[in-house]
Amino acid sequence: MRVAYLVNRYPRTSHSFIRREILALEAQGVEVLRFSQRPLDEELATEADRAELPRTRVLLSAGATGHAAAVAWAAATRPAALARALALALRLGRRSDRGLLLHLVYLAEACLLLRWLDGAGVDHLHAHFGSNSAAVAALCHALGGPRFSFTVHGPEEFDKPEALALGEKIARAAFVVAVSSYGRAQLCRWARLEDWGKLEVVRCGVERDLLAAPATPAPAAPRLVCVGRLSEQKGHLVLVEAAAALAAEGRAFELTLVGDGPLRGALEERVRRAGLGERIRFAGWRSAGEVRDAILASRALVLPSFAEGLPVVLMEALALGRPVVTTAVAGIPELVEGGVCGWVVPAGSVEALVPALRAALETPPERLAEMGRAGAALVAERHDAAKEAARLAGLFARAAAG
């Protein structure tokens, strides 16, 4: 079976879960072709992601000439389908905050993608995220391309479902994947009742070698780590405020922020003003191995997000036997049980985050190890990449069979 994957930008450091999913599918015997709408806009930190670059075909690389030729080809070979796809593009564009012009670009991308898929003999098209990649997949199908599906992660899709025409995309798809039960419930809000049967839960997974990693004792040192893109929704500013409160108590601790993003300058300034430069370190993006080492060198991983889907880094920390301090948003409570494998607090609350961080710093290593084992068992049960890929492969086969 040959499946095409379409992502807005692939590969990306923050999208390593897509790479893991693709590789797990290939281990199941599914042939996966990679397509990216846009070229890479960052330097990749891991060799595994860099290895995906030459395997990925970029739509924008065809240039204006290639897209114009693809539209002309569609007009000559399937004029009625092109007219229907144009009507769909205009309808999506009128509802979108991205406008009509960009959706006409998506239509040209869909024409080009269809030519490439026809040439490759693709059985099914799968997009990640319910935004522009799902729009291009729906337009490609309207042009006469293969049946399509897409994975919704959140929070963007849940923030503006009407602007993204989420309900119409669901109606046109063969099936739609949510990464948590919470995500599926949100999709039910915007799907027609008759489309609820299309909504599937396939969880993001971690590799078997991570699940089989030997237990490493938590350090006695008061060290914490936060891994994630430095953006507003990850809650870093609240974390810095909580760290300042701990410092005001005279408590010793080290906090490493792994990741980068648009909020880095503001965070560095806030750390400087709070006099936390000796306690909080900005590490930037790191390779998968370096992230793993940073987690193991810490007593707990902290992720105080305001909005999420279900963060893979929480799965990775728990699989490595480290409890987590996080927030009760989206699908996180489906994985993290407060008092069992971590501490779960209300999002945005410095007052709630401070005692959770204090507990992570004070809990004896033996108790941290117990919490880590409980978390690792939960991840092994619910987030095995091979098992989830097998479920996804079955969905692809069923959709390709019609």
Fold of 208-382: Rossmann fold (3.40.50)
Q: Output the pLDDT for position 251.
A: 95
Tens of pLDDT along the chain (402 residues) come to 999 999 999 999 888 899 999 999 999 999 999 999 999 988 887 888 999 999 999 999 999 999 999 999 999 999 999 999 999 999 999 989 888 999 999 999 999 999 999 999 999 999 999 999 999 999 999 999 999 999 999 998 999 999 999 999 999 999 999 999 999 999 999 999 999 999 999 999 888 888 888 889 999 999 999 999 999 999 999 999 999 999 999 999 999 999 999 999 999 999 999 999 999 999 998 888 899 999 999 999 999 999 998 999 999 999 999 999 999 999 999 999 999 999 999 999 999 999 999 999 999 999 999 999 999 999 999 999 999 999 999 999 999 987
Structure tokens at 285: 């993006």
CATH architecture assignment, domain 2-205+384-400: 3-Layer(aba) Sandwich (3.40)
Q: Output the pLDDT for position 9.
A: 96
Q: Output the pLDDT for position 99.
A: 86
Q: How far is CA 387 from CA 144, 208, 249, in A?
A: 32, 10, 46
Q: Output the pLDDT for position 42.
A: 83
Instruction: Please tell me the distance from the alpha carbon of residue 76 to that of residue 78, in angstroms, as a whole number.
Output: 6
Instruction: Please tell me the distance from the alpha carbon of residue 285 to that of residue 15, in angstroms, as a whole number.
Output: 13
Please check whether the two domains, 2-205+384-400 and 208-382, share a CATH topology: yes
Residue type at position 333: P
Instruction: Please tell me the distance from the alpha carbon of residue 349 to that of residue 239, in angstroms, as a whole number.
Output: 9
Domain residue spans of the chain: 2-205+384-400, 208-382
